[in-house]
Amino acid sequence: MRTVEVIEPGMYTTVQDAGRAGYLRYGLPPSGAMDRRAFEIANALVGNSPEAAVLECTGTMPVLEFSRAVSGAVVYADHFQFLEVSAGERKKFQTLETGYRAYIAVAGGFDTPPVMGSRSTYVPGKLGGFEGRPLRAGDVLSLANVDGASSSVENEGAAFISLANGAGSSVYARVIPGPEADWFDCGGLNTFLTEAFYVSSKSDRTGIRLEGAPLSFRHEAQLVSSGIAMGTIQVPPSGQPIVMMADHPTTGGYPRIGNVVRDDLPILAQLRPGDDVRFVEAG
Protein backbone atom coordinates (compact mmCIF):
# COMPACT_ATOMS: atom_id res chain seq x y z
CA MET A 1 0.00 0.00 0.00
CA ARG A 2 1.35 3.39 -1.00
CA THR A 3 0.99 6.07 1.66
CA VAL A 4 2.31 9.50 2.52
CA GLU A 5 2.75 10.78 6.07
CA VAL A 6 2.43 14.45 6.90
CA ILE A 7 5.54 15.51 8.83
CA GLU A 8 4.77 19.23 8.74
CA PRO A 9 1.35 20.30 7.42
CA GLY A 10 2.15 23.80 6.19
CA MET A 11 -0.13 26.72 6.93
CA TYR A 12 -3.26 25.31 5.27
CA THR A 13 -3.02 22.14 3.19
CA THR A 14 -6.13 20.26 2.05
CA VAL A 15 -7.06 17.50 -0.36
CA GLN A 16 -8.88 18.96 -3.39
CA ASP A 17 -10.08 17.71 -6.75
CA ALA A 18 -12.26 19.10 -9.56
CA GLY A 19 -15.09 19.82 -7.14
CA ARG A 20 -18.43 18.50 -5.94
CA ALA A 21 -20.84 19.25 -8.78
CA GLY A 22 -24.62 19.10 -8.58
CA TYR A 23 -25.28 19.97 -4.94
CA LEU A 24 -25.75 23.73 -5.00
CA ARG A 25 -29.52 23.30 -4.76
CA TYR A 26 -28.97 21.53 -1.45
CA GLY A 27 -26.84 24.35 -0.10
CA LEU A 28 -23.49 22.62 -0.67
CA PRO A 29 -20.81 24.53 -2.62
CA PRO A 30 -18.58 22.82 -5.19
CA SER A 31 -15.30 23.34 -3.30
CA GLY A 32 -12.40 21.94 -5.34
CA ALA A 33 -9.14 23.61 -6.28
CA MET A 34 -9.01 27.38 -5.99
CA ASP A 35 -6.58 27.69 -8.92
CA ARG A 36 -8.19 25.32 -11.42
CA ARG A 37 -5.50 26.01 -14.02
CA ALA A 38 -2.63 24.95 -11.75
CA PHE A 39 -4.67 21.95 -10.54
CA GLU A 40 -5.31 20.73 -14.09
CA ILE A 41 -1.67 21.18 -15.10
CA ALA A 42 -0.50 19.22 -12.05
CA ASN A 43 -2.66 16.24 -12.96
CA ALA A 44 -1.73 16.43 -16.63
CA LEU A 45 1.98 16.36 -15.83
CA VAL A 46 1.70 13.02 -14.05
CA GLY A 47 -0.79 11.45 -16.46
CA ASN A 48 -3.75 11.52 -14.07
CA SER A 49 -7.38 12.02 -14.98
CA PRO A 50 -8.42 15.71 -14.81
CA GLU A 51 -10.47 14.99 -11.68
CA ALA A 52 -7.78 13.26 -9.59
CA ALA A 53 -7.24 14.51 -6.05
CA VAL A 54 -4.18 16.60 -5.24
CA LEU A 55 -2.90 18.55 -2.25
CA GLU A 56 -3.66 22.28 -2.30
CA CYS A 57 -1.03 24.12 -0.26
CA THR A 58 -1.75 27.66 0.91
CA GLY A 59 0.80 30.10 2.33
CA THR A 60 3.55 27.59 3.13
CA MET A 61 4.45 24.12 1.89
CA PRO A 62 4.19 20.86 3.83
CA VAL A 63 6.89 18.29 4.52
CA LEU A 64 5.84 14.79 3.43
CA GLU A 65 7.32 11.29 3.83
CA PHE A 66 6.50 8.72 1.15
CA SER A 67 6.34 4.98 1.90
CA ARG A 68 7.03 3.96 -1.72
CA ALA A 69 8.75 5.44 -4.74
CA VAL A 70 6.44 8.03 -6.28
CA SER A 71 6.45 10.22 -9.38
CA GLY A 72 4.75 13.55 -9.09
CA ALA A 73 4.72 17.25 -9.85
CA VAL A 74 4.29 20.50 -7.96
CA VAL A 75 2.66 23.42 -9.76
CA TYR A 76 3.18 26.92 -8.39
CA ALA A 77 1.72 30.23 -9.57
CA ASP A 78 4.36 30.73 -12.25
CA HIS A 79 6.28 27.46 -12.71
CA PHE A 80 6.20 23.74 -12.05
CA GLN A 81 8.62 21.11 -10.80
CA PHE A 82 8.75 17.38 -11.53
CA LEU A 83 9.31 15.01 -8.61
CA GLU A 84 10.85 11.57 -8.33
CA VAL A 85 10.64 10.49 -4.71
CA SER A 86 12.33 7.36 -3.33
CA ALA A 87 10.72 4.95 -0.88
CA GLY A 88 11.02 6.34 2.64
CA GLU A 89 12.14 9.76 1.40
CA ARG A 90 11.14 12.82 3.41
CA LYS A 91 10.37 15.56 0.92
CA LYS A 92 10.67 19.29 1.51
CA PHE A 93 9.29 21.50 -1.24
CA GLN A 94 10.38 24.81 -2.65
CA THR A 95 8.87 27.74 -0.76
CA LEU A 96 6.05 29.82 -2.23
CA GLU A 97 8.01 32.80 -3.48
CA THR A 98 5.38 33.86 -6.03
CA GLY A 99 1.68 33.43 -5.55
CA TYR A 100 -0.17 31.99 -2.58
CA ARG A 101 -1.09 28.41 -3.57
CA ALA A 102 0.67 25.36 -4.98
CA TYR A 103 -0.61 21.93 -6.01
CA ILE A 104 1.10 18.62 -5.32
CA ALA A 105 0.04 15.78 -7.64
CA VAL A 106 1.23 12.19 -7.58
CA ALA A 107 0.70 9.51 -10.20
CA GLY A 108 -2.69 7.95 -9.49
CA GLY A 109 -3.82 10.69 -7.13
CA PHE A 110 -4.52 10.86 -3.40
CA ASP A 111 -6.97 8.13 -2.43
CA THR A 112 -9.19 9.62 0.27
CA PRO A 113 -12.82 8.44 0.53
CA PRO A 114 -15.11 10.29 -1.91
CA VAL A 115 -18.08 12.14 -0.44
CA MET A 116 -20.94 12.94 -2.80
CA GLY A 117 -18.75 12.11 -5.76
CA SER A 118 -15.75 14.20 -4.76
CA ARG A 119 -12.64 13.99 -2.58
CA SER A 120 -12.53 17.78 -2.13
CA THR A 121 -12.30 19.09 1.41
CA TYR A 122 -15.09 21.40 2.53
CA VAL A 123 -13.89 22.53 5.96
CA PRO A 124 -17.02 24.49 7.06
CA GLY A 125 -19.07 21.34 6.47
CA LYS A 126 -16.38 18.99 7.85
CA LEU A 127 -16.65 16.67 4.86
CA GLY A 128 -14.46 15.27 2.10
CA GLY A 129 -10.68 15.19 1.93
CA PHE A 130 -8.99 13.83 5.05
CA GLU A 131 -11.57 13.87 7.88
CA GLY A 132 -13.06 17.05 6.43
CA ARG A 133 -10.22 19.28 7.67
CA PRO A 134 -6.80 20.73 6.82
CA LEU A 135 -3.94 18.26 7.22
CA ARG A 136 -2.09 17.91 10.51
CA ALA A 137 1.28 16.45 11.45
CA GLY A 138 0.99 12.68 11.75
CA ASP A 139 -1.81 12.25 9.22
CA VAL A 140 -1.29 9.32 6.84
CA LEU A 141 -2.94 9.49 3.42
CA SER A 142 -3.34 6.64 0.99
CA LEU A 143 -2.20 6.97 -2.60
CA ALA A 144 -3.99 5.24 -5.45
CA ASN A 145 -2.20 2.18 -6.75
CA VAL A 146 -0.94 2.50 -10.31
CA ASP A 147 1.15 0.19 -12.46
CA GLY A 148 4.66 1.52 -12.82
CA ALA A 149 3.78 4.88 -11.32
CA SER A 150 5.73 7.41 -13.29
CA SER A 151 5.48 10.88 -14.71
CA SER A 152 4.03 11.31 -18.17
CA VAL A 153 7.11 13.38 -19.04
CA GLU A 154 10.67 12.18 -18.52
CA ASN A 155 12.54 14.77 -16.50
CA GLU A 156 15.10 15.19 -13.77
CA GLY A 157 13.50 16.00 -10.43
CA ALA A 158 14.62 19.62 -10.18
CA ALA A 159 13.57 21.05 -13.53
CA PHE A 160 11.59 24.28 -13.59
CA ILE A 161 9.55 25.63 -16.48
CA SER A 162 7.80 29.02 -16.57
CA LEU A 163 4.01 29.05 -16.69
CA ALA A 164 3.63 32.84 -17.01
CA ASN A 165 0.41 32.71 -14.95
CA GLY A 166 0.22 36.46 -14.66
CA ALA A 167 0.75 36.54 -10.89
CA GLY A 168 2.75 39.57 -9.86
CA SER A 169 2.64 43.02 -8.27
CA SER A 170 0.12 44.48 -10.74
CA VAL A 171 -2.88 42.23 -11.35
CA TYR A 172 -5.95 42.83 -13.48
CA ALA A 173 -9.09 40.69 -13.53
CA ARG A 174 -11.80 40.94 -16.17
CA VAL A 175 -15.41 41.22 -15.05
CA ILE A 176 -18.85 41.20 -16.61
CA PRO A 177 -21.65 43.33 -15.08
CA GLY A 178 -23.70 41.69 -12.37
CA PRO A 179 -27.50 41.66 -11.98
CA GLU A 180 -27.41 44.58 -9.53
CA ALA A 181 -24.73 46.68 -11.24
CA ASP A 182 -27.30 49.45 -11.69
CA TRP A 183 -27.72 49.68 -7.91
CA PHE A 184 -24.40 51.55 -7.80
CA ASP A 185 -24.09 55.22 -8.72
CA CYS A 186 -21.64 56.57 -11.28
CA GLY A 187 -19.05 57.20 -8.60
CA GLY A 188 -19.31 53.65 -7.29
CA LEU A 189 -19.01 52.10 -10.74
CA ASN A 190 -16.09 54.37 -11.61
CA THR A 191 -14.29 53.40 -8.41
CA PHE A 192 -14.90 49.73 -9.11
CA LEU A 193 -13.33 49.90 -12.58
CA THR A 194 -10.50 52.36 -11.94
CA GLU A 195 -9.20 51.95 -8.39
CA ALA A 196 -6.98 49.27 -6.89
CA PHE A 197 -8.31 47.00 -4.15
CA TYR A 198 -6.16 45.19 -1.63
CA VAL A 199 -6.63 41.60 -0.46
CA SER A 200 -7.70 41.46 3.19
CA SER A 201 -6.11 39.07 5.68
CA LYS A 202 -9.69 37.88 6.35
CA SER A 203 -9.84 36.27 2.89
CA ASP A 204 -10.20 32.50 2.63
CA ARG A 205 -11.49 29.77 0.34
CA THR A 206 -15.02 31.14 0.73
CA GLY A 207 -14.21 34.56 -0.65
CA ILE A 208 -11.48 37.07 -1.43
CA ARG A 209 -12.30 40.08 0.74
CA LEU A 210 -11.05 43.34 -0.71
CA GLU A 211 -10.24 46.68 0.89
CA GLY A 212 -10.10 50.06 -0.80
CA ALA A 213 -12.22 53.09 -1.58
CA PRO A 214 -15.81 52.03 -0.69
CA LEU A 215 -18.24 51.64 -3.56
CA SER A 216 -21.22 54.00 -3.31
CA PHE A 217 -24.80 52.87 -3.88
CA ARG A 218 -27.55 54.60 -5.82
CA HIS A 219 -30.08 53.62 -3.17
CA GLU A 220 -30.35 51.43 -0.08
CA ALA A 221 -32.78 48.82 -1.38
CA GLN A 222 -32.70 45.39 0.25
CA LEU A 223 -31.85 42.39 -1.90
CA VAL A 224 -33.69 39.10 -1.55
CA SER A 225 -31.10 36.32 -1.20
CA SER A 226 -30.12 35.26 -4.71
CA GLY A 227 -27.87 32.68 -6.33
CA ILE A 228 -24.13 33.22 -6.53
CA ALA A 229 -21.28 31.38 -8.23
CA MET A 230 -17.51 31.24 -8.08
CA GLY A 231 -16.36 34.66 -9.24
CA THR A 232 -19.50 36.56 -8.19
CA ILE A 233 -18.56 39.92 -6.63
CA GLN A 234 -20.87 40.91 -3.80
CA VAL A 235 -20.78 44.32 -2.12
CA PRO A 236 -22.00 44.55 1.51
CA PRO A 237 -23.08 47.86 3.09
CA SER A 238 -19.42 48.66 3.88
CA GLY A 239 -18.85 49.13 0.13
CA GLN A 240 -15.88 46.69 0.22
CA PRO A 241 -16.20 43.99 -2.51
CA ILE A 242 -16.04 40.26 -1.80
CA VAL A 243 -15.18 37.85 -4.65
CA MET A 244 -16.80 34.47 -4.10
CA MET A 245 -14.41 31.53 -4.46
CA ALA A 246 -14.48 27.72 -4.29
CA ASP A 247 -16.26 27.34 -0.93
CA HIS A 248 -18.77 30.11 -1.60
CA PRO A 249 -22.29 29.89 -0.14
CA THR A 250 -25.02 29.02 -2.60
CA THR A 251 -26.98 32.25 -2.09
CA GLY A 252 -26.16 35.73 -0.90
CA GLY A 253 -28.04 38.83 0.14
CA TYR A 254 -25.64 41.54 -1.06
CA PRO A 255 -25.85 43.31 -4.44
CA ARG A 256 -23.82 41.58 -7.17
CA ILE A 257 -21.87 44.27 -9.00
CA GLY A 258 -20.08 41.87 -11.34
CA ASN A 259 -18.62 38.45 -11.97
CA VAL A 260 -14.96 37.66 -12.66
CA VAL A 261 -14.57 35.74 -15.92
CA ARG A 262 -13.62 32.10 -15.39
CA ASP A 263 -10.19 32.34 -17.01
CA ASP A 264 -9.12 35.05 -14.54
CA LEU A 265 -10.17 33.26 -11.35
CA PRO A 266 -6.76 31.52 -11.05
CA ILE A 267 -5.15 34.96 -10.84
CA LEU A 268 -7.30 35.85 -7.83
CA ALA A 269 -6.62 32.46 -6.23
CA GLN A 270 -2.89 33.28 -6.19
CA LEU A 271 -3.19 36.67 -4.47
CA ARG A 272 -1.69 37.01 -1.01
CA PRO A 273 -3.08 39.26 1.73
CA GLY A 274 -1.89 42.77 0.90
CA ASP A 275 -1.66 42.17 -2.86
CA ASP A 276 -3.67 44.49 -5.06
CA VAL A 277 -6.05 43.83 -7.92
CA ARG A 278 -7.85 46.06 -10.41
CA PHE A 279 -11.02 45.16 -12.28
CA VAL A 280 -11.54 45.85 -15.97
CA GLU A 281 -14.71 45.28 -17.95
CA ALA A 282 -14.44 42.26 -20.22
CA GLY A 283 -14.51 43.25 -23.89
Backbone dihedral angles phi then psi of residue 226, each to the nearest 5 degrees = -135, 165
What per-residue string of b and e applies to 221-234 under the rule 16 or more CB within 10 Å gives b? eeeeeeebebbbbb
> Residue 189: is its pLDDT beyond 90?
yes
pLDDT attached to residue 162: 43
pLDDT attached to residue 264: 97
pLDDT attached to residue 156: 39
Domains defined for the chain, CATH in brackets: 3-162 (no CATH), 171-281 (2.40.100.10)
pLDDT attached to residue 147: 58
What would the mean pLDDT of 171-198 be, rounded to a whole number? Answer: 96
Query: What global pTM score does this model have?
Result: 0.92
Q: What is the CA radius of gyration of the chain?
A: 20
Could you report the per-residue pLDDT of 147-171, keeping only the tens digit for each?
A: 544 444 444 333 444 444 444 456 9
pLDDT attached to residue 157: 38
> Residue 225: is its pLDDT beyond 50?
yes
Query: Of 122-136, 184-198, 212-226, where does mean pLDDT reach its minimum?
Result: 212-226
Give the CA distances from residue 203 to residues 43, 72, 91, in Å, rounded to whole numbers and listed in that order.
27, 30, 29
